[in-house]
Amino acid sequence: MKIVQKYGGSSVGDIEKIKIVADKAVKQKKAGNEVVIVVSAMGKTTDSLFSLAKQINTAPPTRELDLLLSTGEIVSVALLCMAIENLGYKAIGLPGFLAGIYTDTVHTKAKIKKIDPKKILEEIANDKIVVIAGFQGISAEDNITTLGRGGSDLTAIAIAGAIGADRCEIYTDVEGVFTTDPRIVPDAKTIPLISYEEMLEMASTGAKVMQARAVEIARKYKIPFIVKSTFSERGGTMVKEMKLEEGAIVTSVTLDENQAKITFFHVPDKPGIAAQIFGELGKEHINIDIIVQNVSKENYTDLSFTVASSDMERAIKISKKEGKKLGATNIICDDNIAKITIIGLGMANHPGVAARMFKSLAQENVNIEMISTSEIKISCVIKKNQGKKALKAIHDEFFK
């Protein structure tokens, strides 16, 4: 069997842990499997590298930033290969550019364009355990790129697809995907089986355990994967295609504390305004999430939307520029917010789910600033300092 295993930062956080990962890889090889391992940077290395860059230059050139960030995963690759050789097995370490991972040119959140698995397959045929640096690739301009935070998940899924792996396993520091973040709500339960759609919504609304873009690729190319703990045999979550009727009403609750809300005051309420504002933000690769437009008064209206905190500074800059052109009286930004979301495939067919969510928030005296709904989720924007208590209350309502 061809197996791809991905180990996240906390699973390779120190030398002892790297030895555990080496043991797990070798165990699969010994059992007669072809083994490809994808690793993240050790522990909080990526954060430390970011911080180093920012200390030198508050807006570092993104090409060099990617060059710097990519080194984190390369360290893990080299050490893991050494640990595998120690156990008497052959390993070869490949940074993204040697593993045939070709991306577009958007530094710090590059998209994978193509994977040429030739080298990986050759080395598998040479009987080696192939260890690949997650989170990185090479662009058509021959620059090193990175795939956005959490991007090693994407590397693993994309490689599993490219080599036609029989199994793709994502190892992390918790026992699978839970009904909510088990570090905030200890009562959270593991979900044994979940659809791509639900996993994608969870990931896009703050669940962190999987990168959203990785799940998107898994769904598109139908690559099932399992999320498990590196250090425990318990739990485990299978993510795959599922039929609507198999879904529970609410499968999970997520909290995203890395959000900011931007409001345009007093812009003309006429066709083309939203297209202009969001068009300019889109050109800069800024994702917009919840959008709320007030009822218009005398042909003017206020418009609010949320963006990821990491895009906030750039979004404000563009908004101020556009606001000026449109004659907005003011543009304000509030990053003291959080977004709380309930997710479930069956939700659309069960009236009353939203009311239960809102009631749980009301009982905790949490005010809702924005709401958005879709077939499979309901999100509310609330004050950041109420996020964790809101998460507990809503989780209790649906899972206790």
Q: Collapse the DSSP code of 385 into the 3-class scheme (helix H, G, I; strand E, B; otherwise coil) and give the result.
A: helix
Instruction: Work out which of 28, 40, 301, 341 binds ligand ASP, going by CB under 6 A.
Output: 40
Q: Which residue is nearest to ligand ADP (CB)?
A: 8
**What would the two tokens of residue 195 be?**
């659809």
- The rounded distance, in Å, linking the Cα atoms of 195 and 215 is 10
Question: Is residue 135 near ligand ADP by the rule CB under 6 A?
Answer: no
What would the two tokens of residue 135 be? 């989170």
How far apart, in whole angstroms, are the C-alpha atoms of residue 193 and residue 327?
51
Q: Is 344 in the site for ligand ADP (CB under 6 A)?
A: no
Residue carrying structure tokens 């958005």: 372
Closest residue (Cβ) to Mg ion? Answer: 150
- What span, in angstroms and rounded, lies between the C-alpha atoms of 137 and 112? 8
Query: Could you say whether residue 259 binds ligand ADP (CB under 6 A)?
Result: no
Number of residues interacting with ligand ADP: please give it, by CB under 6 A: 19
204 sits near ligand ADP (criterion: CB under 6 A): no
Choice from 3, 5, 8, 259 touching ligand ASP (CB under 6 A): 8
The pair of three-digit structure tokens given for residue 210, joined into one six-digit string: 């999987």
Contact with ligand ADP (CB under 6 A) among 150, 236, 247, 387: 150
Q: Out of ligand ADP, ligand ASP, Mg ion, none, which partner does residue 177 contact, by CB within 5 to 8 A per kind?
A: ligand ADP
Nearest approach in angstroms of CB 57 to ligand ADP is: 26
Location of structure tokens 């842990």: 17
Quote the least distance from Cβ 166 to ligand ASP, whole Å.
23
Instruction: Tell me how far apart the alpha carbons of residues 19 and 35 are, in angstroms, rounded to a whole number.
Output: 16
HSE-CB of 350 using CA atoms within 13 angstroms: 19
Query: Considering only CA atoms, which of 193, 250, 234, 200 is closest in space to residue 400?
Result: 250
- 38 to 57, contacts with ligand ADP by CB under 6 A? 40
Site size toward ligand ASP, by CB under 6 A: 13
Site string for ligand ASP, 56-85 (x = CB under 6 A): ----------------x-------------
* Segments in the chain forming alpha helices (H): 15-30, 45-56, 62-86, 118-125, 152-163, 196-204, 212-220, 273-283, 309-326, 353-363, 387-399
Angle at 3 between CA 37 and CA 195, to 5 degrees: 100
Q: Is 135 in the site for ligand ASP (CB under 6 A)?
A: yes
Per-residue contact flags (x/-) with Mg ion for residues 144 to 173, judged by CB under 5 A: ------x-----------------------
Binding site for ligand ADP (CB under 6 A): 8-11, 40, 150, 172-174, 177-178, 180-183, 207-209, 252
Binding site for Mg ion (CB under 5 A): 8, 150
Binding site for ligand ASP (CB under 6 A): 8-9, 40-41, 46, 72, 134-135, 149-153
